[in-house]
Chain A
Amino acid sequence: MPQTRDLEFRNAAMDVTVAVLHHTEPPRLADAMHKMMGGMPDFFDGDATVLDLGELATIPEHIDWTGILSLFRRFCLRPVAVQNVPPALLEGVRQTNLAILPEGGLRNHPAPAPEPAAAPVQQQLPLTPPPSSGQPATTMIIDRPLRTGQQVYAKYGDIVLLCGSSSGAEIIADGCVHCYGPLRGRVLAGGAGNTNARIFTTNFGPEIVSIGGIYKTFEHGVPDSIAGKPVHVRLVTNESGQKLVIEPLRLN
C-alpha cells in the first residue's frame, strides 16, 4: 500500500498495570515491592504502568518522584502516566514528564481496593493487574515436580501440577491452581485480579498463597490442622473486606 504521509496517528487501547499507591516514600514502597516480588525483580516484564494517587493515606507535601520512578524501573515497571492526582500534587507531577490522565481516563478501572487488614499476615497487594482481555483460557499441565527456582505462569488459564512443587518454586496462574501432590513454594492464583480463582491441593504446605492479590504467608509454619492435608483455598468477600479461607478438602 503506498504511503502518502510520513506520519500517522492512530487510536489504540492498551493493557496497563495500575499501581495504587497508599504511600509515597520510596524506601517504604521498595520494601513492599521487595516483599511482594520476593527474589523476582523481573516479575513484571517492562509493563507500562499508571500510578494511581487517589488512595493516598495522607497527602504529602513533597513527593520524591525521582526515587519513585527509579524504584519502579528497578522492578521492570515503566511508569507512563499518573491518575487521580490530588490538586496539591499536580505541580510536582507536571515536572516528571508523566502524562496526567483525566478522571475516569482508564476503562476497566479496577474497583478500589479495600483497606489492608490489621494482621500482618494478610495484606492487600496494592498492585492490581488489569483484568485479562478475553483470551481463550488454556490449562497448563506440569507432569514433573516443579523444583526450587523454577517458575510457571499460566496466562489466562489454570495450572495442574501432577507431581507437586518444592519450596522455592513459583506457581502463578490467572485461573486456578490444582495440585496432586505436595504443594510448596509460592502459589499465586487469580493472577489477573480474578478473585473467583481457587487453589486445590492434596498436600498443603506452601510458603505463600495468594488469590487475586490477597495473600497469606505462613511465617510460623502451616497450622497442623491443614499441613500436609488436602486443602482448598478461596477468597471470601464480606462487609469487613476480603479474606482468604483455607479449608480441608473432603476427597470422598
Chain B
Amino acid sequence: MSKVVVITSGKGGVGKTTTSAAIASGLALRGHKTAVIDFDVGLRNLDLIMGCERRVVYDFVNVIQGDARLSQALIKDKQCENLYILPASQTRDKDALTEEGVEEVIDQLRQMDFEFIVCDSPAGIEHGAVMALTFADEAIITTNPEVSSVRDSDRIIGILQSKSRRAQNGEEPVVEHLLITRYSPRRVAEGEMLSYKDVQELLRIPLIGVIPESEAVLQASNQGMPAIHLKGSDVAEAYSDVVARFLEEGSREEALAKRPLRFVDYAKPGLIQRIFGGK
C-alpha cells in the first residue's frame, strides 16, 4: 500500500526541497521503495539538489500530457537503490498540472509498488501547491521559527483540510506532521527566534522533528547531494531521526519519547561538546 507524503509550507525558502530530498533519501536508505516528485513546475530545483539534473530527459508534464511514459521519465538516484525522481518541467507553468493527470501519475506509481510517494510542493497557495497536496495521505509541514513562516504554514494546513482528496471525500483526514527547519538554538536562547515549543503551540499539530540551521546544507545542495548523506553532520542526523519517527508505528508522543529531539539546546561557547556530543 503506497503512502503519498506532501512536503509543503506555504512560504518559500524554508527548506521544502531540501527536506523532500533528505526524507525521500532517508526512506530509501531504510529499504523502502520511494519516488519523489517535483511539483514546482517552471522552476525545477529538486533535480539539482538530488544531483541528477544532467540526466533529465522527460519530465512530469511530459508524462501528464502523454508525451512520455512514466518509466521513461523516472530517474534512478545514484546513491540510493530504491529511490526514483520525477523532475518538474522548466518550460511549462503550473497550469500544465491537471488534477486528472496528477492522479493518473500517482496511480501508476502505486501500481509500480512504490511504498512512498513524496511530493515536493512549490511555495504559495496557488494551483501548483494545491495539486501537490490534493492526493496526500500524510503531510510534513515545513516551517521556519519565525512568524511569517508560521502564519503561512497555518494557512496551508487550512487548505490541506479543505482541498485534499481525503477532506473532499470526507475520509480520514490527512495526517499532519510539523517539521521545524533552520533552527538556531543560540538565536532562540537570545530571544531572536521562536522556540520550537512556541511554533508548536501556535500551529497545534504534532512535531516530528527539528532540523538545525547549518552551512552544510548549502554545501550539500551545491554538490547535488541530499543533506541526509552528510555523514556525521547534525543536519543529517536530525533528518535521520525524522525519518525514523515517521516510520514509527503508534503515536507521535511515543516516537518522540523513544527518539528525543536533538540539537535544540544551546550551551554557551566553551561547552561546545555538549552540543555536538549528541546528549
Most A Cβ at <10 Å: residue of B154, B155, B201, B204: B154
Q: Mark A1-36, 1 if CB is under 8 A from B, else 0.
A: 000000000000000000000000000000000000
Provide the residues of chain B in CB contact with A167, threshold 8 Å: 151, 154, 202
Q: Give min CB distance, A164 to chain B, whole Å.
A: 7
Q: Mark A167-192, 1 if CB is under 8 A from B, else 0.
A: 11000000000000010000000000
Considering only residues 7-60 of chain B, those with a C-beta below 8 Å from chain A are none
CB–CB A150/B158 < 8 A: yes
Partner of B158, one of A147, A163, A164: A147
Contacts known (A144-B161, A150-B158); A168 close to B204, Cβ less than 8 A: no
Task: Give complex CA distance A163, B154 in Å.
Answer: 14
User: Does B102 touch A at the CB level, under 8 Å?
Assistant: no
Q: Mark A129-160, 1 if CB is under 8 A from B, else 0.
A: 00000000000000011111110000000000
CB–CB A164/B204 < 8 A: yes
In the complex, residue of chain B having the shortest beta-carbon distance to the beta carbon of A167:
B151
**Sampled A-B contacts (21; CB under 8 Å):** A144-B161, A145-B204, A146-B158, A147-B154, A147-B155, A147-B158, A147-B161, A148-B152, A148-B154, A148-B155, A148-B158, A149-B154, A149-B155, A149-B158, A164-B204, A167-B151, A167-B154, A167-B202, A168-B154, A182-B201, A182-B204
CB–CB B204/A148 < 8 A: no
User: Does A202 touch B at the CB level, under 8 Å?
Assistant: no
CB–CB B161/A166 < 8 A: no
> How many pairs of A and B residues are in contact by the CB < 8 Å rule?
32
Partner of A163, one of B151, B152, B202, B204: B204
Provide the residues of chain A in CB contact with B202, threshold 8 Å: 166-167
Given contacts A163-B204, A166-B154, A167-B202, 9 further A-B contacts (CB under 8 A): A144-B161, A145-B204, A147-B155, A148-B152, A149-B154, A149-B155, A166-B203, A167-B151, A182-B204
In the complex, residue of chain B having the shortest beta-carbon distance to the beta carbon of A163:
B204
CB–CB A168/B161 < 8 A: no
Task: Give complex CA distance A147, B161 in Å.
Answer: 10
Provide the residues of chain B in CB contact with A147, threshold 8 Å: 154-155, 157-158, 161
The interface size bin for chain A is 10 to 19
Q: Name A's B-contacting residues (CB within 8 A).
A: 144-150, 163-164, 166-168, 182
Provide the residues of chain B in CB contact with A148, threshold 8 Å: 151-152, 154-155, 158
Provide the residues of chain A in CB contact with B204, threshold 8 Å: 145, 163-164, 182
Task: Give complex CA distance A149, B152 in Å.
Answer: 9
> Which 9 A-B pairs have CB atoms at the shortest separation, nearest pair first?
A147-B158, A148-B154, A148-B155, A166-B154, A149-B155, A150-B158, A147-B154, A148-B151, A145-B204
In the complex, residue of chain B having the shortest beta-carbon distance to the beta carbon of A228:
B201
Provide the residues of chain A in CB contact with B161, threshold 8 Å: 144, 147
Task: Give complex CA distance A168, B203 in Å.
Answer: 12
Most B Cβ at <10 Å: residue of A146, A147, A150: A147
Provide the residues of chain B in CB contact with A145, threshold 8 Å: 157, 204
Task: Give complex CA distance A144, B202 in Å.
Answer: 14
Considering only residues 192-247 of chain B, those with a C-beta below 8 Å from chain A are 201-204
Considering only residues 95-136 of chain B, those with a C-beta below 8 Å from chain A are none
Q: Give min CB distance, B40 to chain A, whole Å.
A: 22
In the complex, residue of chain A having the shortest beta-carbon distance to the beta carbon of B157:
A147
In the complex, residue of chain B having the shortest beta-carbon distance to the beta carbon of A149:
B155
In the complex, residue of chain B having the shortest beta-carbon distance to the beta carbon of A150:
B158
Considering only residues 132-158 of chain B, those with a C-beta below 8 Å from chain A are 151-152, 154-155, 157-158
Provide the residues of chain B in CB contact with A146, threshold 8 Å: 158
